[in-house]
Structures are given as structure tokens and as C-alpha cells.
Amino acid sequence: MTDNPFFKVWTTPFGMPPFDRIHPEHFPAAFDRGMAEQLAEVEAIVAAPEPPDFANTVEALERSGRSLDRVANVFFNLTSSNTNDALDEIERDYAPRLAQHGMRIALDPGLFRRFDDLYDRRHQLGLAEDQLRLLERRHLGFIRSGAGLAPEAKARMAELSERLATLHTLFGQNVLQDERLWQLALGEGDLAGLPADLVAAAAEAARERGVDGWVITLARSSAEPFLTFSARRDLRQIVYEAWTRRGGHAGAQDNRPLIAEIVALRNEQARLLGYGSYADYKLDDSMAKDVASVRHLLDQVWEPAKKKAAEECAALAAAARAEGMNEPIAPWDWRYYAEKVRKARFELDEAEVKPYFALDNMVRAAFDTAERLFGVTFSERNDLPVYHPDVRVYEVADAEGRALGLFLHDNFARPGKRSGAWMSSYRDQEAMDGPVLPIVVNNNNVARAEPTLLSFDDAKTLFHEFGHGLHGLLSKVRYPSQSGTAVRRDFVEFPSQVFEHWMAVPETLRRYARHERTGEPIPEALLQRLLSARNFNQGFATVEYAASALLDLAFHEQASPDITDIEAFERGQLERIGMPAEIGPRHRPAHFQHLFAGSGYAAGYYAYLWAEVLDADGFAAFEEAGDPFDAGLAARLKDIYTAGDTRDPMDLYVAFRGRPPRVEPLLEKRGLVPPLP
């Protein structure tokens, strides 16, 4: 295929993928060639007659697979952001092949011997700090992949990896298919309680789907506002149950059998490597280190959160009785009555607040915060190809005007885009053979409307993903394996979560929270009420999150998992921890993509809370300094964003904060203890 763009040099600025010339039929041949090239590169490393050294082994492996990386980065970003039937079919075909390819390299005995030899002599090699860490982490990666096992066990590890890749792919595609197909069409009589911006977004969703009237979808930006504002309890129940049952319908796209197989195969992987459970295996290479540490963290919030949630529920029930509803609060009632209580308690009306949180203004607020903290600027580029008209592209530069990379912002929900919000990259920063600048993308799922208005939480999510984006854009490392967000899972959320704090800085809100129609800044009284309400409903938020983290551990800490009924297992676990009946877990197993559409957060969903200990304690340093933009603290914080995986994460944190983190600021932030004196 001579016109395949993956077989040509890209002459676009910054090496931006030429999306206008890339089509699904280009990927199979590009994957095949990329895998063949990398295998040849690895074979050359193994066959080298010279004894192993850092250059001919570690750096040579770092250079391998560049063609494969290029096609894989484009492909898997598209299957997340803008997929179609053709891409889905290719993904089902190539996911196991790519897993097999990766394991062939990870289990290559000759390659492992060279790394093992270097590892044994690592302190005599005169390596720089980043090189020593790269060698140690690479060697650990081989061990954790099974390179040190007997031949039969290595062969089984490869089989497990290949099968899991297929299961992960099917799981994610099944969830997306449910999200694509389901919709709730509304007539004019079904709009009671819905604010104007949600009505406008529902009308836009109806137009996109070719339906008259209004449509609620299973995008979080559609479903959650409907649950918050719809006066129709019957419709709230329909939406809630559809939202929580994604991936859990009997038939060809039922994820529940996949979960049982995934959990069993992961456990087999761990036991082959000598661990008692998959959680033991996964946490051994984390900041937390073991299940006991994770449980200790979750226990510190679980009971206080349940107590606070019970107090919140009592207030909701009183509000419901005042309106004539005498039934117990159900999960589809919580957001609706919480909004009523919030409005009464803080004189806050979401319909009054949202006009001050226009999407474009919040994007500018994020850019301005990055400039004030880290000296980076964003200039829009309209001359580059994009994969969808929604995508906006920005050139990123440092304080001296030197280019740092490209930032792609893809903010709107649409069919073919998975739900949630995430950061990814089309190219990672590195400097091994000269500077390579990153191409980073943020995906959000905001409901399109004119104007597009965000909730306070939506704006926090935008800042959160932008924090991940900055982690990729500010990276300043030598080797690609250490670039940007390539850090331990329970540290990767710190740069994103700490950045959220600047969205709620009064200075930021006074400047950028402006009425979408008049341009007037948010009134000071409204601003203060908004900030006063930040801890409202935190019992609910902590319970729904922590329940999912505890379910994750329950799936993965068993020594011999044999889960035949996923819903019965979930029900039993929730009963064991005393889950309030009025609250559902943030993620039900059948759509829990963090766990089962890939292994990244498996036995690791606790990471958001672990990182929140760091971010609450870290931002407290700025509060103690009396300046959210304190230059000295900002410079030390920037060191974390630039370091990638060149240093131990706790060492990075202590260098920034001057001491290890404390949990008290987290508990205060979530309103689970009285404020610190």
C-alpha cells in the first residue's frame, strides 16, 4: 500500500498526524510492518557480538518500535475518541496480536540475559540518575512480565496476556455500544425542572441522533444533570437504571462473563509470578506497596464518609417529605434532592451559577493558570489537520517563547467517543537523539449547547485533565519510557488533582467566571456562597467513590477467585461494607472500564484517593504561603511535572513539600473532620 501515510515521513508542523489522509484500511499493514521492524531491532540487540552495555542494550531497546508506536498512538486514540465499526473490527483483530508481540519481546531470553547482566553490574556502570532508574525499572518490567520463569510458565504468561487483551477490548466496546444505542426521547411535558442549558443540550443531542424533540443520552454530561434537575421521578429512575446497567445486559454484549474470566486470568498471572493474589502483584510496584496500606487509607475515610452521608440523607428525606414524597430516598433521588438542599442551605441555584461557567472562559482560566504557575502559553492553530471538527489545537511555548509541543482539546460528547474524561498523547516528549516535542490530547464529554455552560464539577474535571496534559507537555526527560505520565499509577493522579485547586481560587473565579451573556463577573456574594458549598454532599461523593475502590480490591485480592455471579458478588461485598442503600457505587462492575477495559487501574482504583492525600497536602503549602501563585512553590511543583519517571515519586514530593504528606488536609477537604485550627 504505497499511499499508506504511516509509511511516509510526516511533514506537518510538529509532526502532527495527517488525519485527513489516514483511513481505517491503513492500520493493518502499518501494524504488521511496525511489529516486524521492532522484532528485527530486538533481534539485532540480542545478536550483537559486543558485551552488553547501557548504549547497545538499554538505549537500543528505547529506540526500538518507533514505527509501531506511531501507528498505535494514532489508532488507540481514535478508537477512544472517534471510533467506527471498521476501527472496532481492527481493534478486536489486533489487540491480541499486539499483546503477543509485546510478550514476545518481554519474554525474550537473550534480551533478558543482557538486561540481567547490566542490572547486576548497575552500580559499576557510571550511570546518571535517570539512566540508573531506567535500567532498574526496565529490569523490573521484565521480571514482572515473567522473563525469569521456566519455559512452560513463560508460554502460559504469553497466552494469558493475549487472551486478556481480547477481553479488555471486548469489554470497552460493549460499554461504548450500550452508550451509543441508548437514548431517552423527551416530549415537552417531560422537561419539568430542567434548566435552559440542559434543555438546549438535549435538543442538540436529538438533532445529532435524528430525533424530534429532546434526547437524554448516557454521556455523564447528559445523564447526571438530568438526575439532578428532572422533576419526573419515573424518568429519573429510567435514566439511572440505564446508566448503571451499561455492559450488564444479557446477550452478545454482556460484560459479566468477561469479568469473571478477566479476574481469574489475572490471578493466574500473579500466582505464576509467586504472588498470593493479583492485588499483591499489582501493589508491589506502587507507592502504597501492599493491600494493607490501601485498606488503611480507605478505612480512614469509609466510616466517616458513611456517617456524613447518613446526615446528608436525613436532610434530603426532609426536603422530599416537604414536597409530599414519603418514600425512602432512592439512588435516582439523591442528586435531585441534594440540589434542592444545597439551594436552600447556601442560596445557590445551579441555573444561576452555570451562566458564569462558560466552557471557553474556563479553558482560558486553565491556560492562564498554567502561564502564571509555570510560564507556559497557548496559541491556537487553525492550520493543522484534526480527526474531528470538535478538536481545537494549540501550540504551547515556554516563557522564552520556545515551542514545547501541541495541545489538542476535544471537549464534546458524541457517538463514537467513550464516556468520561481522559488525557492521552499522540507523541511523547523525549531527547535521546535530539528534542522530540509532545502532542498531547485532553478529552472531555461536555454536552454541546449554545452557549456551552459547565457546572462547577465540570470545570474541575476540565482542570483535572488539563493537569494531566501539563504533565505530558512539561516533561523534560531524555528517554521515552520515562516521559510525562509514565509514572506509578498512584502518583500519576497527583499532577492532575493538585491542578484542580486553582479552578476554585477566588482570584481565578473573579477573573474568568463571567456571565455568558453580559460578561459581568460573578457577584462576590454568589462567589462566596459557591465556595462555602464546596464540602456539601462530600459524604455521598466519598461513599460512591470508596465503594468502587473497595469493590476493586475485593475482585483482585482473592487467592483463588471463582466468581460465577458478578452481581451476587457485588451485592455481597456492598452488604459486607455496609453500603448505604440510597447510594450506588460510582462504577458498577459491568461498565467499570478503569478495571476491565485494561489493567491500568486494576487493583489500583484507590489511586485517586492516594493522590488526593498528596494534592490536598500539596496545595496546603500554597495556602500556608498566603499566595496560590507563590513563585518558589510553583517552581518546585513544576519540577514534578517535568521529571516524569526519572526519580522516585515520594522523593519528588518531599523535594516539593519539604516533608512527607499528611492525611489531615484530605479529611478536611472532604469535610470528614472539623477544619484544622
Q: Mind telling me the catalytic residues?
A: 465
State the Cα–Cα distance between residues 90 and 552, nearest whole angstrom: 30
What residue has cell string 458478578?
566
% helix / strand / coil in the chain, to the nearest 5? Answer: 60, 5, 30
Q: Can you tell me whether residue 401 is helix, strand or coil?
A: coil
In three-state secondary structure terms, 434 is strand
DSSP code string of 122-172: GGGS---HHHHHHHHHHHHHHHHHTTTS-HHHHHHHHHHHHHHHHHHHHHH
What string of H, E and C letters represents the secondary structure of 488-524?
CHHHHHHHHHHHHHHHHCHHHHHHHCECCCCCCECCH
- List the helix and strand counts (H, then E) for the chain: 27, 7
DSSP tag of 52: P
CA distance 66 to 59: 13
What is the DSSP secondary-structure string of 573-614? HHHHHT--TT---SS-GGG-HHHHS-STTTTTTTHHHHHHHH
**Count of CA atoms in the C-beta half-sphere (13 A) of 181:** 11
Tell me phi and psi for residue 405, to 5 degrees. Answer: 150, -165
Chain-centre distance for alpha carbon 457: 16
Cell of 666: 484530605
